[in-house]
Every structure is written in structure tokens, then in C-alpha cells.
Structure 1
Amino acid sequence: MTYAFSWPLQQALYAALGDQPTIAAEADGGVHDAPPHADALGPDPAPFLLIGEETVEAWGDADMAGAAHVLTISVISGEAGFGRLKRIAGAVCDAALGPLILSRGRVALARFLGARTRLIARAGLRRIDLRFRFAIEQDG
């Protein structure tokens, strides 16, 4: 087991999300690994993606060793309604579950675990948190 696949996984996800046409067209606020400062968002923030929380556990068997990463990708916006966010969330699933090219390791398994959609009234935001599990094994 190693945590060494975490950064290559994040880089691959960032690239895949940025290359996905629906995300490029709809998520005007971009893809981030830290929430943008509130001042930068403005009063009604355009949709943006946040590659967020991650937990990592040992994964494998006697013949292979790797790590299982459970990772959250959030779609956040200050716009009214969830329609646009749901279109973007669908595109996030397509990108995250598609082929990912890692600089180290190989994705042996990619799974969608679930989602949570919520209104954060006090902040005037809508948010969809998508959870994925990636099992990564050492290549070669």
C-alpha cells in the first residue's frame, strides 16, 4: 500500500475533467482543488468543480499491491435551480469513470459510490457531492 498514487490520480482527474466538453462549456468557474475565496466568487458564483476530500486504504492481494482511493468531486454554484449542476455532475461521472492516464500506477477499478445534492441556504449555494472509488495498482 502506498499514498504515492494520490497525486497522479488527482492530476489525471483534473485533466479528464478539463477535457470533458460539457464541463468545459458549463462549468465557467473552472476546476479547483481548494475552494475559491468568497470574494473571487461574486454574489452568484458560476458553476465550478472542487476535487475534494479523499481517503486511502490498502488494496490488493498476494499478487498485487495498491491503494483504494475514495474521493469526492463537488459541483457548486450560486445559480438558481439544480438543472445545470446535474448536467455537469453527469459529465463529471463520464470523465471520472472513463479512461484515466496516471503518471504512476494504473486504475484497476473505478466506481461511482453515490451522490448528495443539497441547498446551502445561508451561503446561497447549491452543491452536488459525487463520491468515487478508484483502486490503483502499481504498473509493471
Structure 2
Amino acid sequence: MTHVGPVLSATVEQAEELRRLHTIITERDLPIPLRDDFAEQCTAVEQHLGGDEFTNLSRRIRRINALSGWIAAPVLIAAVVLYVVGKFTDLLPVDDVLTLFLNPVVIAVLAVILVSVLGIALWMRSANRRLLGPVYGRLLQRLTTA
């Protein structure tokens, strides 16, 4: 079962931080466009202040996230094929499909893909914590002292 608590909490926290950024920008009458997205707002603040730490890490996270989807697609396709074969055994040549998926090379490739996706997920979790923790903290500190 998926735990939505941490995801919901992070979303609410980002919304609060976005409001905080908007308040600082508005109160100080800074020439920074207000954005509806937290990451886009931080990028706009960083462009105004100079620097690229938040922007670079945010861009890297988005790229790796997209890559993980492409890497996970073969595993998803294999799972769907096995499900369909299980449901419609009278319409498909079950022995041929199962022989393909029970091939040790195919199993090894799918296992490597699965482990890669899990590794990417762990890296992304760490990178997001770094982005929303110390990297954002330094950006906010620079904004409040500017």
C-alpha cells in the first residue's frame, strides 16, 4: 500500500515555501516574475540573484526522472504481457511466451533494469532532499539578505 502522507506533506510544504517566496518578492518589490510552480519560482529567483546551483540540480532531477520512466517501460511491458498470457491462455501460445520470459538472459536483463530503476529512485530521493534542504536554504538565505 502506498503511503501518501510524505508526498502530501512535501506538496503542502512546497506550496507554503512558494507563498513565502512570493511574499518576499512582493514586499521587497524585486523585479522577479511570480511563478505558480515552486521549482520555476526558485529558478527565477536564482537567475535574478546569479548562480545556478538550484537550477542545475532541478534540471538533473527532471532528466533522471524521465530516464527512469523509459528504463522502467520494458519491465512494465513484460508484466503486461505475462498478465495477458495468463488471462487468455486459450488464444495465445503460452508455451512460447513463457519460454521467452523464462530464458535466463531475459530474466537477467529485466532484473538489471529493475535494480537500475530502484537505484535511480534512491538517487532521486536523495537529490530531492538535497534540493529542498540545503540548496533551497542557501537560495532563500541569499534572497533574504539581498
- For normalisation by structure 2, the TM-score amounts to 0.28
Instruction: Select the structure of larger CA radius of gyration.
Output: 2
Task: Decide which structure has greater strand share.
Answer: 1
Q: What is the TM-score when the length of structure 1 is the normalising length?
A: 0.29
Q: Which has the higher helix share?
A: 2
